[in-house]
């Protein structure tokens, strides 16, 4: 068992040729990753006997490793097979988080690519319901590629997100919206964000300051497929304050409504409801 958020969670991790139960210890005080931040990872979901876009998540882990000059000895196809092996260790229908990781064991500031190691973790993680959450504007901003390796899903990005989340919660909000260096909306602390105005969807255009989410792209594709206009563009905070609907997309909760933005209450709207319905249909293999 492994502890997450104060409770025991069933967990399996594949590392160096075998599945290990619980929270196996395979990093030490001299390991480059916890010391100097060379760890990349990805996160996929299994729920209701489906694992949508698992191939894309495994492919992104490989790309993130390449961004860090890590030398993986495993391909995305094998990672996907291992993830499905891990899923099979749990009762059918269990909501799971699937986390492949790669990191360097050694290096002097920069990594030694030959010391790359990797793992695949699969553990219980209940899906949050579409109950909604509140957001505020964060005083902290997202960096661009000139300041951080934003082209990878990397552990080193999350302390910045964590401090934004901590500050927002101290003011009574569930999450925070982060701007980029130019003052445009970038993302939430750990998910992408979308707004609706007059029935059309608007979301920040990829500009190197946020992870372009796999769930984000899938939702946009599904919305376009049924004829909803989608705009990827530079967005100001005021536009979100004036929006008809606001919702998030991300791997952990998939499609979730935002029901309070600063001091303004919002109801989950019809476009959000359609986006969530479409995503669930896609996840279960329905034709759209």
My answer on whether 55 and 159 are in the same domain is no
- The average confidence (pLDDT) of the chain is 95
pLDDT tier, 9 (very low <50, low <70, confident <90, very high otherwise)? confident
Residue 94, SS3? coil
CATH for 58:
3.30.470.10
- Dihedral Cα 274, 277, 282, 283, nearest 10 deg: 140
pLDDT tens readout for residues 194-220:
999 999 999 999 999 999 999 999 999
Same domain, residue pair 115 and 173:
no
CB-based contact 254:45 (threshold 8 Å):
yes
Does residue 2 register a pLDDT over 50?
Answer: no
Do 17 and 157 share a domain, yes or no? Answer: no
Question: Do 139 and 72 have their domain in common?
Answer: no
> Is 253 in the same domain as 137?
yes
Do 42 and 160 fall within a single domain? Answer: no
Instruction: Report pLDDT for 8.
Output: 55
User: Is 258 found in the same domain as 208?
Assistant: yes
The total number of structural domains in the chain stands at 2
Residues 237/179, Cβ–Cβ less than 8 Å: yes
Question: Residues near 68 by Cβ (< 8 Å), separated by ≥ 6?
Answer: 38, 40, 102, 104, 111, 149, 152, 154
126-144, pLDDT tens digit by residue?
999 899 999 999 999 999 9
- Residue 287 pLDDT > 90, yes or no? no
Is residue 67 a part of any domain in this protein? yes
User: Whole domain around residue 184: which residue ranges?
Assistant: 133-283
31 and 157 both lie in a single domain: no
Query: What is the helix (H) or strand (E) element at residue 60, kind and residue range?
Result: helix 54-67
Same domain, 6 and 113: yes
Among the three residues 74, 98, 124, which one is the final residue of a domain in this structure? 124
Please choose, from the candidates 70, 85, 77, the residue with its C-alpha nearest in 3D space to the C-alpha of residue 13.
85
Which one-letter DSSP state was computed for residue 29? T
**Percent of the chain topping pLDDT 90:** 95
pLDDT tens figures, 212-262: 999 999 999 999 999 999 999 999 999 999 999 999 999 999 999 999 999
Does 158 lie in the same domain as 29? Answer: no
- Name the residue among 252, 259, 262, 240 with its Cα closest to residue 172: 262
Above 50 in pLDDT, residue 268? yes
Residues 165, 154: contact at Cβ < 8 Å?
A: no
């Amino acid at each position: 068992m492994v502890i997450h958020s104060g409770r025991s969670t069933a967990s399996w991790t594949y590392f160096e040729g075998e599945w290990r139960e619980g929270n196996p210890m395979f990093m030490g005080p001299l390991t480059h990753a916890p010391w100097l931040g060379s760890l990349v990872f990805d996160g996929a979901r299994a729920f209701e006997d489906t694992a949508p876009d698992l191939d894309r998540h495994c492919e992104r882990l490989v790309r993130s490793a390449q961004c860090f000059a890590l030398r993986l000895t495993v391909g995305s196809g094998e990672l996907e097979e291992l993830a499905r092996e891990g899923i099979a260790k749990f009762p059918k229908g269990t909501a799971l988080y699937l986390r492949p990781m790669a990191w360097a064991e050694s290096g002097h500031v920069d990594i030694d690519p030959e010391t790359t190691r990797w793992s695949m973790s699969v553990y219980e993680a209940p899906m949050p319901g579409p109950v909604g959450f509140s957001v505020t504007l964060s005083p902290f901003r997202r960096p661009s590629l000139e300041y951080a390796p934003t082209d990878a899903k990397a552990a080193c990005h999350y302390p910045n997100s964590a401090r934004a989340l901590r500050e927002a919660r101290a003011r009574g909000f569930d999450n925070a919206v982060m701007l980029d260096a130019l003052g445009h909306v970038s993302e939430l602390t750990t998910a992408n964000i979308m707004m609706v105005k007059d029935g059309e969807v608007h979301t920040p255009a990829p500009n190197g300051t946020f992870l372009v989410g796999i769930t984000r792209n899938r939702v946009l594709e599904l919305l376009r497929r049924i004829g909803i206009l989608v705009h990827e563009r530079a967005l100001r905070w005021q536009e979100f304050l004036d929006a008809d609907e606001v919702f998030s997309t991300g791997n952990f909760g998939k499609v979730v409504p935002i029901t309070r933005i600063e001091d303004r209450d919002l109801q989950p709207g019809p476009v959000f409801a359609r986006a969530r319905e479409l995503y669930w249909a896609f996840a279960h293999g329905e034709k759209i």
